[in-house]
Amino acid sequence: MGKIIAFANQKGGVGKTTSAVNVAASLGQLGKRVLLVDLDPQGNTTSGVGVSKKALRCSTNEVILGQAEAKDAVVATQFANLSVIPTNIALAGAEFELYSGERAEYKLRDALKPLREGNEYDYIILDCPPSLGMLTMNGLTAADGVIIPMQCEFYALEGLSQLMVTISRIKKLCNENLMVAGILVTMYNGRLVLSLQVMSELKKHYGDKLFKTTISRNVRLTEAPGFGMPVFYHDKHSKGAQEYLDVAKELVLRI
């Protein structure tokens, strides 16, 4: 049975979508069958793997509202072992509808159940929106594990504490199997004193949760989404590509 991993952080601009896309692509490079599910109405994950957001035949919106089966929304990408359930801005409306529905937090889990039990994918990667709303709650309720991408800054530490409380609450109320699969430090610069200080705090309080690999600031990494591809396919020899490949290898060992 495939593992479901959610990438979540209520703070925007932390490299969440970049990490979801590139870890998914790297798992594909390792020979794993991967399904990437775009839960963010901005649709950056969708465009990040070269799928147009315009006139989608079927998307996360229809899947989460029960208007279509998940298998009918899957789009194969041009990248090895990687498929996606794409989305667009229409998903923003779905979040409001979910608030008024019964068992609203279980909609995604129920929708993905046939794909998971069918053993079609080794990993299902969920890219949650930068908020703690109903879409993120659906992602965390469906997931076996959550990866938390974060920058090395003190505001990020505060946000991490809040997110840990939310994860504990969802674990208690909706998903007893949910675990923190790892904290992934992004946009890291080891020459900055602040970065070293924040890393020291992270190791002190979350040492066992930290990925050994950190993601450095990298030009190729920021360029790749503009070409609609993960960084490995933009420049497989770049530092960003190698770092995300290392994260994927570590994830396979963790969950």
The whole-number pLDDT of residue 1 equals 78
The pLDDT mean for the chain works out to: 92
Q: What percent of the chain has pLDDT over 70?
A: 100
Q: What is the pLDDT of residue 255?
A: 84
Q: Is residue 36 part of a domain?
A: yes
Per the rule left: phi > 0, alpha: psi between -120 and 50, beta: everything else, 128 is beta
CATH of the domain at 121: 3.40.50.300
> Looking at the domain assignment, is residue 179 inside a domain?
yes
Predicted local distance difference test score (pLDDT) of residue 69 = 96
Which residue range(s) make up the domain with 236?
A: 3-250
What is the Cα–Cα distance from 42 to 53, expressed in whole angstroms? 9
Please list, in sequence order, all residues whose beta carbon lies within 8 angstroms of the beta carbon of residue 29, skipping any fewer than 6 positions away: 80, 81, 232, 245, 248
Task: Using the predicted structure, report yes or no on whether residue 100 has a pLDDT greater than 80.
Answer: no
With CA atoms as reference, report the closest residue to 72 among 58, 61, 86. 58
Cα–Cα distances in angstroms (integers) from residue 187 to residues 20, 29, 65, 149, 153, in the given order? 15, 23, 35, 10, 10
Assigned domain for 95 exists = yes
pLDDT at 63 over 80: yes
Average pLDDT over residues 35-55: 95
- At 222 the pLDDT is 93
Residue-wise pLDDT tens digits, 195-251: 788 888 888 888 889 999 999 988 999 999 999 999 999 999 999 999 999 999 999
Kindly state whether residue 255 falls inside one of the protein's structural domains: no
Q: Model confidence at 135, in pLDDT bands (50, 70, 90)? A: very high
Counted domains in the chain = 1
Is 45 contained in some domain? Answer: yes
pLDDT of residue 88: 92
pLDDT in tens, 153-185: 777 777 888 889 999 999 999 999 999 999 999
**In the predicted model, is pLDDT for residue 190 greater than 80?**
no
At residue 76, does pLDDT exceed 90? yes
Please tell me what DSSP assigns to residue 217: P
Q: Which residues contact 244 (CB under 8 A, 6 or more apart)?
A: 19, 22, 23, 25, 26, 215, 230, 231, 232
Q: Is residue 231 part of a domain?
A: yes
What tokens appear for 24 in the block?
């998914």
The predicted model gives 82-87 an average pLDDT of 97
- Is pLDDT at 194 greater than 80 in this prediction? no
pLDDT at 235: 95
pLDDT value for 59: 95
List helix spans (H) across the chain.
Answer: 16-29, 44-48, 60-64, 70-73, 91-99, 107-117, 134-142, 154-173, 193-206, 219-223, 231-234, 239-254
pLDDT of residue 188: 84
Predicted confidence at residue 97, as pLDDT, reads 85
User: Are β-strands 82-85 and 3-7 bridged in parallel, bridged antiparallel, or unpaired?
Assistant: unpaired
Mean pLDDT of 112-138: 93
CB-based contact 83:34 (threshold 8 Å): yes
